[in-house]
């Protein structure tokens, strides 16, 4: 099959890429194939794709996966995809994934899209063991990743392509400039690794920065309840509000001195000096105080 470049398709459809949506379309089919391979997508894999764009990655996913649910925000691209013939295992939705109830889509009995086989649309066939694959713009990446990890537990793994600086922040080490609240919270929720880098010239239009593909695998063995996690994230965010201040100043009003001592954490350190396990240990002690057991 002849590959039609994104530039040619967009011209034929009279679609101008939207800067506000961060639209940069992947042009290299070798990279597309590698992403699917690195995601380990097979015939037993259910995939949700955020931002299918022109369907280049969608088609490759559909060639390997059990089923694909694709969510496209741009109505112009959604209209194109509806007529593009993505195949019987692809279910297409139009909307903003950040605001949508994605969990409901994965458990949907809806017959709203005729491109999806009716026998596969039962809720019992859709639940559990989903992999998310997405090429995300900068401003969407972090909130969407957190939404999935915190709210949509049927998605076990995320394979996300974003600007490399976003992945740098995800994977940062303590006591570095890019290490922050996002790093700590993600480290608690998931195991992460950079899979590959993708240069700007492999996109149309070409972005000004390097992109990276990161694998994010949910941790399902966390021995804490939702209230603990809420307190943990609150403490992390408070600690990093003024990252140059010492912990006794940023957290002194909510973490007693004896809790710092019991956790073996020097309160004269800054938030950026602590690992996520340090924060967990600190909040475990804080959470166990009688006034927090309500």
pLDDT tens figures, 235-279: 999 999 998 999 999 999 999 999 999 999 999 999 999 999 999
Phi/psi for 12 (5° steps) reads -65, -35
Given this model, what pLDDT does residue 108 score? 61
User: Which H or E run contains 74?
Assistant: none
Q: What CA–CA distance (Å, rounded) separates 227 from 237? A: 15
Buried (b) or exposed (e) across 1-29, using 16+ Cβ within 10 A?
eeeeebeebbeeeebebeeebbbbbbbee
Tokens of 127: 């639940």
Given this model, what pLDDT does residue 207 score? 94
Of 126, 143, 125, whose CA–CA distance to 134 is shortest?
143
User: DSSP label at 218?
Assistant: E
- Tell me the whole-structure pTM to 2 decimals: 0.90
Neighbours of 173 (CB within 10 A): 10
Q: What CA–CA distance (Å, rounded) separates 19 from 133? A: 21
- Per-residue pLDDT of 145-166, as tens digits, reads 999 999 999 999 999 999 999 9
Q: What's the whole-number mean pLDDT along residues 182-207?
A: 97
Per-residue pLDDT at 2 exceeds 60: no
Confidence band (pLDDT; 50, 70, 90) for 294? low
Q: What's the whole-number mean pLDDT along residues 192-199?
A: 98
The mean pLDDT value of the chain amounts to 91
Q: What CA–CA distance (Å, rounded) separates 172 from 156? A: 22
Q: What CA–CA distance (Å, rounded) separates 70 from 61? A: 10
- Are 38 and 61 in contact by the 8 Å Cβ rule? The answer is no
Confidence band (pLDDT; 50, 70, 90) for 220? confident
- Per-residue pLDDT of 35-68, as tens digits, reads 999 999 999 999 999 999 999 999 999 999 999 9
CA–CA distance from 5 to each of 25, 81, 86, 177, 180 (Å)?
9, 15, 17, 39, 39
Domains of the chain: 6-218 (3.40.50.150), 226-292 (1.10.8.100)
Q: What CA–CA distance (Å, rounded) separates 291 from 132? A: 40
């Amino acid at each position: 099959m002849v590959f039609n470049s994104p530039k040619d398709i967009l011209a034929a459809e009279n679609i101008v890429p939207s800067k506000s949506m961060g639209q940069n379309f992947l042009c290299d089919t070798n990279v597309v194939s590698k992403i699917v391979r690195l995601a380990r997508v097979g015939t037993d894999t259910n995939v949700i794709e955020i931002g299918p764009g022109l369907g280049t990655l969608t088609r490759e996913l559909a060639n390997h996966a059990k089923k694909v649910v694709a969510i496209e925000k741009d109505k112009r691209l959604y209209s194109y995809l509806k007529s593009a013939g993505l195949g019987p295992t692809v279910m297409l939705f139009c909307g903003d994934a950040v605001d949508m109830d994605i969990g409901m889509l994965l458990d949907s009995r809806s017959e709203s899209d005729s491109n999806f086989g009716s026998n596969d649309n039962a809720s019992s066939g859709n639940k559990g063991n989903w992999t998310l694959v997405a090429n995300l713009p900068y401003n969407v990446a972090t909130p969407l990743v957190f939404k999935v990890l915190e709210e949509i537990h049927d998605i076990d793994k995320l394979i996300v392509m974003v600007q490399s600086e976003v992945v740098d922040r995800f994977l940062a080490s303590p006591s570095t400039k890019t290490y922050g609240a996002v790093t700590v919270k993600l480290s608690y929720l998931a195991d992460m690794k950079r899979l590959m880098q993708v240069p700007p010239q492999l996109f149309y239009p070409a972005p000004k920065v390097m992109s990276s593909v990161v694998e994010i695998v949910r941790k399902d063995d966390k021995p804490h309840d939702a209230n603990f996690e809420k307190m943990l994230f609150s403490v992390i965010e408070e600690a990093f509000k003024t990252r140059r201040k010492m912990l006794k100043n940023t957290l002194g009003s909510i973490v007693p001195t004896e809790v710092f001592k019991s956790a073996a954490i020097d309160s004269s350190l800054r938030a950026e000096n602590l690992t996520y396990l340090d924060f967990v240990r600190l909040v475990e002690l804080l959470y166990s105080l009688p006034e927090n057991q309500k």
